[in-house]
Structure 1
Amino acid sequence: MELCRLQFRAGPVDLHKAEQQAKIRILSHHASGVVRPSLAVPHLSPLVHRLLPSLPPTVRDVDVPPLFRERFILGGYRPVGLSWRSYVLSLFQIHNETLNVWSHLLAAVCVLLRFMAFAGPEGQGFSLDVSSLPLVLYVFSAVTYLSCSAVAHLLQSHSEHAHYSLFFLDYVGVAVYQYGCALALCLYSSDAAWTQSMLGQIFLPAAALLAWFSCATCCYAKLHFRRPYPLHRKLCQVVPMGVAYLLDISPVAHRLVTYSWTNSTALPLHFLQVVLFLLSAFFFSCPVPERFAPGRYDIVGHGHQLFHILLSLCTLVQQEALFRDFLWRRPALVREFGEERLLLACASFPCLTLCCTITALAMRRRAQTQLMKEQR
């Protein structure tokens, strides 16, 4: 424990020093009769096996600074202050972030492979033009948020500054995905009645504003509140994203209520993705089941892992529904919306991405200034 405290005061350490500290800890556990299990995944290739033993074992929550702790998760934490290489290699180790990383990495790969199959020669006549550009942007937004989330959970234990920076990046990815969904659902999944309504007329500007606001409030909540987190920190994150989701899903909700599901193969998939999203939102908001058995679900089964898995499934189902809506709406899309309006809608996507990135960079600078003041 004392070595860990010294490590936190000294800042980042190189991998050699981490190895020596790990050996001391392991020897002390053997001396006391307690052997901590190895983190290395068994039966790996010889090359990976030679690399993994250099990484120190996981530690308890009391061995990491409060910023890196999660409620009711008592173990499985990676030591803070190791080299970047060690956290990259921890992709192949067992810790309390392993499933968070792999669930979104695998989902990103599945999104890309499914899109390549849909758009490839064996697909259904996909070609890159104005009418298909929103679908490409949607796939890009899905891969972006999944990748940013995986990177954030994989590398965030490097330092406090890295922790803030990487989760700000994660929030940018979420905002980009929110608007990518809004763009695709507005153009492919809406019907004429919804499109001509007042909500349909203001939908895209409102969706862009709410996506940016969600990014800004999540960044603010991450930086402003300290553990133990008050309830209004969670509200600061959940309420803007919830309002954004209610707006983004409105084209689908209108069709689910007014259309016969037997006339569209996409509508049952849309209903399923709504259910999956609501379940994922529940596990994001509530730390269950770990609340009822602290320490039991540290490695597998805690709420944030269930949130990741359900959200990944939601994305895959939503993508499949959008593919079917794309084939349904594409023939008349340019005639109904106009080529200029479609191009303008797609041009708003990089603008939203830029605004969110600037916001995250500004919050990252504030975090750096705040950390420097605390270290004095």
Structure 2
Amino acid sequence: MPGDILQRLTTLTLSVKQLGRLPNLVQRLPSSLPSPSPTVGASHVPSLFREPHILTGYRPLRQKWYCYLLSLFQKHNESLNVWTHLLAAPVLLLRWWSNVGTLGYTLDISSLPLCLFLLSAIFCYFCSTVAHLFQSHSEQAHYYFFFMDYVGVAVYQYGCALGHYFYTSTSGWRASIIGYHFLHGTAIFGLLSSTGCCLAKSRYRKPYPVQRKICQLIPTSLAYFLGISPVVDRLLTGSWTEEPSLNFHVLQIVFFLSSALFFSCPIPECFFPGKFDIFGHGHQIFHVLLSLTTLSQLEALFQDYARKRDQVIDIFGETQIWWACVSFPILVFSCLLVAFTSMKYMHKKLKQN
């Protein structure tokens, strides 16, 4: 089983290894196309854009928008942040179609939470890709795109919760207080996660105070731990020999907790400032591990769905499934409203400065 798991995850890892060749592509573009400006050091960009221990590889501000689009093929300190999530989406789709063919997947109400999980993951990676690609245009763009990135994270959290609730949870867990309040609880925490991140981003400036981390981490952590609770219960009560999906659930937890470490700590660049500016700094590793988390989730949920698909409607009823899935666009709209409100606030704040 471990060998099979590693083989399924190899596709994404191999794709990431090819990224070292990408910087050469910008040199092969037709000469008629404009080229992005050369990257600059940290002292040439405002403090908002500087990352700890990253000394070079910053893209100059206020270039034409198409220059940032073309920087997709340029070597800079956001290159891997863009490509890891840009490549993750097609890899997820490929694994989706592979599982569809293997499991005899049918599109009906019982598979709707699984579809929304995939949609939420792709939406999250799209928002992240766009944010890292275009945020260097200006301070306003930086704030606007990362507000949308936080929307993607909140939507992804709820998409995961839907999959875990309808395919992974046990009857004993659903009868508990946590299980009873799970769906609306994860939706509320998802909205609070988006709100907390937008608030922290818009209110605090560098050097960041500890309150900024509190605004970001508390609602996001609560959303994660509630969303993963049916998986933890299943790991503690399920049969590991009869349920191979549990191996992928373990992997998703290991990958996510590892990604949280690299997100919170600037490793390894804090030990070697300037050595990991372009490739290998902590946020890039975080992106790779998060992509592996989602891929592991997809494999686990497909196996749980295959085992349970004939019972989903009998267990939950069509009404509950529909209401849970209708909550998905409501959450998206609510998070977008928070993001647009934050954009309006930042627009006024930047004009005053």
> TM-score normalized by structure 1?
0.86
2:170 aligned with 1:191, yes or no? yes
Structure 1 pair 42/314, CA: closer, same or farther in 2 (3 Å)?
closer
Cα RMSD after superposing both structures: 1.7
SS at match of 2:132: helix
Q: Deviations over 1:96-141 (max 9, x none)?
A: 000000000111111112212323xx33221111100000000000
Q: Relative contact order: is structure 1 or structure 2 higher (C-alpha 8 Å, sep ≥ 6)?
A: 2
TM alignment of 1:353-364, pairs within 5 A: 353-364=332-343
1:96, 1:300 within 8 Å by CA — same for their partners in 2? yes
Is residue 2:264 matched to residue 1:285? yes
The alpha carbon displacement at 1:48 in A equals: 1.6
Separation in 1, partners of 2:308, 2:99 = 16
Letter in 1 for 2:223: A
> CA separation in 1, counterparts of 2:25 and 2:352?
44
1:3-22 correspondence runs (5 A): none
* CA distance in structure 1 between the partners assigned to 2:184 and 2:36 by the alignment: 48
Gaps of 5+ in 2: 1-19
Does residue 1:91 correspond to 2:92, yes or no? Answer: no
In the alignment, is the contact (CA less than 8 A) between 1:60 and 1:76 conserved in 2? yes
- How far, CA to CA, are the matches of 1:149 and 1:41 in structure 2? 19
Write the distance in 2 (CA, Å) between the matches of 1:354 and 1:139: 18
Paired with 2:324 and 2:114, the residues of 1 have a C-alpha distance of 12
* Residue deviations 1:212-261 (CA, integer Å, cap 9, x gap): 00000000111111111123312321221111111000001001111221
2:242 corresponds to: 263
The higher radius of gyration belongs to 1
Alignment deviations for residues 295-337 of structure 1 (CA, whole Å, 9 cap, x no partner): 1111111111111110011111111110001111111110010
Map of 2:221 onto structure 1: 242
Structure 2: distance between partners of 1:224 and 1:42:
36
1:172 equivalent in structure 2? 151
Provide the secondary structure at the position in 2 that maps to 1:54: coil
Q: Distance in 1 between matches of 2:81 and 2:237?
A: 37
Distance (Å, rounded) in 2 between the aligned partners of 1:273 and 1:324: 14
User: Could you report, residue by residue, the CA deviation over 1:337-366 in whole angstroms, capped at 9, with x for unpaired residues?
Assistant: 011111111101111111000010000000
Equivalence for 1:105:
86
The gaps in structure 1 that reach 5 residues or longer are 1-38
How far, CA to CA, are the matches of 1:331 and 1:177 in structure 2?
26
| Alignment check: 8 A CA contact 1:40 1:53 kept | no
In the alignment, which residue of structure 2 is the partner of 1:26?
none
Q: Which amino acid aligns with 1:176?
A: V
1:157 to 136, 140, 149: 136
Q: Which range moved further: 91-100 or 251-260?
A: 251-260
Structure 1 residues 84, 330: CA separation in 2 closer, same or farther (over 3 Å shift)? same
For 1:366 and 1:373, locate their aligned partners in 2 and report how far apart those are by CA, in whole Å.
Answer: 11
How far did residue 53 of structure 1 move?
A: 7.1
SS of corresponding position for 1:131: helix
Corresponding residue pairs, total: 334
Structure 2 distance, partners of 1:94, 1:253, is 41
In the alignment, which residue of structure 2 is the partner of 1:74? 55
Do the aligned partners of 1:131 and 1:330 also contact (CA within 8 Å) in 2? yes
Q: Post-superposition shift, 1:83?
A: 0.7
Picking from 18, 42, 49, the partner of 1:61 is 42
Q: Contact between 2:26 and 2:74, CA under 8 Å: does it hold in 1?
A: no
Matches within 5 A, 1:178-327: 178-327=157-306
Quick check: 1:138–1:177 contact (8 Å CA) kept in 2?
yes
Q: Deviations over 1:56-100 (max 9, x none)?
A: 110011100111111111110000000110000000011000000
Shift of 1:262: 1.1
The verdict on how the C-alpha distance between 1:188 and 1:151 changes in structure 2, with shifts beyond 3 A counting, is: same
Report 1:333-344 matches (<5 A): 333-344=312-323
Residues 43, 72 of structure 1: CA spacing in aligned structure 2 closer, same or farther, 3 A cutoff?
Answer: closer
Question: CA separation in 2, counterparts of 1:54 and 1:101?
Answer: 18
Of the candidates 114, 121, 124, which is equivalent to residue 95 of structure 2? 114
| In structure 2, C-alpha distance between the alignment counterparts of 1:59 and 1:40, rounded to whole Å | 21
Instruction: Give 3-state SS (helix, strand or coil) of 2:274's partner.
Output: coil
Q: Is the 8 A contact 2:62 2:137 kept in 1?
A: yes
Aligned sequence identity (%)? 51
Contact 2:34 2:67 in 1 (8 A): no
> Structure 1 residues 201 and 316, CA, compared in 2 at 3 Å: closer, same or farther?
same
